[in-house]
Structure formats: C-alpha cells, structure tokens
Amino acid sequence: MKPQQTPAQLSAEEIVFIRSRVIFEDACVIAFDKPAGLSSQGGRIAAHTLDDLLWAFARPGHARPRLIHRLDRDTSGVILTAKTKPAAATLGKALVAHRFRKTYLAALAAPPDPKGGVIDVALRRHSIGRDVNMKVCEPDHPDAEPAVTRYRTLAANDTAALVELSPQTGRMHQLRAHLASIGRPILGDVRYGGALMLDGEPVPRLMLHAARLGFPHPVGGAKTYVEAPLPSDIAGILTLAGLAAPAPSLS
C-alpha cells in the first residue's frame, strides 16, 4: 500500500504511548505489542490507527514505517513494521511465501476435541452490508480460500481452556472462524459466537493474543523471533478460571 503522504497530527500523549509499545527495533524493523482496541489500519472509528501512529517514527522528509501484516482490532500482540522500502519488500515476499511463523494464544470455554491437531477447512467471505464474516465452505466452492490451523491445548479444566494456535495460512478471521467451526469459539468473540461471561464475570474482549512472531530478517535472512507478554485482561480471565499460562511453543 502506498504510504500516506500527509503525516497524521499526533498528540504528545499518542507519541509517548506508541513508543511505549515497541518490543523490538533495529535499523530495518520495529515490532510492537499492539493493545486490543487499536485498529491496525483503516477502520471505522474516528481515532488514529496504528498505521497513523507510525508517523511518530518518521524521520523528517521520509515516510513512516510500513505495516507488514495486520491484526484484528480486538486482537492484541506482536505486529511487525519495516523502516525502509527494501525491508518492506523483502518481508512482504517472505510473508507471501509462508516464511513467517505466528503463534497465538486463545482462551476458550472448553478444550477442543481432540485437544490437539489440525483444522483444514476452507473459508469464504460473507458480506452483510459493511460487515464481512468468514464462513466455512466446501473446498470446491467458487469463493473458497484454503485455510489451515494447527492447534494444541496448553491447559484446561471444567471452566475454560487455553490453546496455542499456529495458522499455516493467513485468511481474515481465520483462527476465530476455525475455532467456531469445531464448536469452540474464542471467549469474548461476539462475531463468531464466543461466550461473553465466564463464571459469572464479563469477558472484557476477544481473548486472542499474538504471542510470538518468527520471520527471516530482511538483512541476511536470519530467523528472528519477537514475543509479546500475555496482557493483563487475558491473564485475569485465566486466573478467574483457575488456569496457568504456559509459554507458547517455539516450534
């Protein structure tokens, strides 16, 4: 996408905020721990997006860093940007070639059955007005997009479950739609049928967190990993459910 030519007018508080979300930076890339509620790009809310806030890192006369991928507005965690056009091009090609390794954590009302495996189910976009959802479909449907998700249950009891998710493809709402398709929607997922209460307490938002990202560095190609700590709202739900939060797998 062509960079915005007119810099966003950011407040001092916004600049401090976005700089506080940096979890990795070098000469080529910046990785952020995006909080839930912040849109990656575009969006309908009259507020600055992450893409707008990246102007805080622009040098005079230069474009802001470029987003390499997106996270849903209510998903927290690692998101990667490139500081230079060559880095953006290299990372974009690596993303298309499936050389990124993404690991998510999600809280569910119960563990999947089986507790680990692969969801290989095609998805298609379904629009109602301005809203777009992903629907399960047959692989030969004319609008089908192949989608594959690896998963495993890290902890579970009678109240909730914590699962680790590794998308092998990058479809919109893939993890949310896939888990809903096996009867285990993510807690707080209004769009895909997730429970909004847990043990009598409200679930504050979509309980999905991009915990870890692995990518080939744009200079030299060395595998680089960035992690974002589990946010307090998901940790609080796990505590409420009596579950610990193991670290995500490195595989």
CATH value at residue 181: 3.30.2350.10
Annotated catalytic residue, options 33, 72, 74, 189: 72
Please confirm, yes or no, whether 74 is among the known catalytic residues. Answer: no
Percent of the chain with pLDDT over 70: 94
pLDDT, position 63: 86
pLDDT digit string, tens, across residues 43-64: 666 689 999 999 999 988 778 9
- Per the CB < 8 A criterion, the answer to whether 173 and 72 are in contact is yes
Is residue 5 in some structural domain?
no
Is residue 249 in some structural domain?
no
pLDDT at 250 over 90: no
Amino acid at site 57: F
Is residue 3 in some structural domain?
no
What Cα–Cα distance (Å) separates residue 88 from each residue in 57, 97, 107, 165, 170?
A: 15, 14, 32, 26, 18
What Cα–Cα distance (Å) separates residue 222 from each residue in 217, 219, 232?
A: 5, 8, 32
> For residue 37, is it left (φ>0), alpha (ψ between -120 and 50) or beta?
left
DSSP letter at 33 equals: E
pLDDT at 251 over 50: no
- CA 152, 173, 29, 217 dihedral sign is positive
Is residue 248 in some structural domain?
no
CA-to-CA distance for 151 and 55, rounded, in angstroms? 36
Q: What is the domain count for the chain?
A: 1
* Burial per residue of 201-216, b for 16 or more beta-carbon CB atoms within 10 angstroms, e otherwise: eebbbbbbbbbbbbbb
- CA 219, 223, 228, 234 dihedral sign is positive
Better-scored residue on pLDDT, 95 or 5: 95
- Domain interval for residue 141: 12-241
Percent of the chain with pLDDT over 90: 86
Q: Which two tokens stand for residue 23?
A: 């979890």
Is residue 151 in some structural domain?
yes
CA-to-CA distance for 42 and 247, rounded, in angstroms? 32
pLDDT digit string, tens, across residues 160-211: 999 999 999 999 999 999 999 999 999 999 999 999 999 999 999 999 999 9
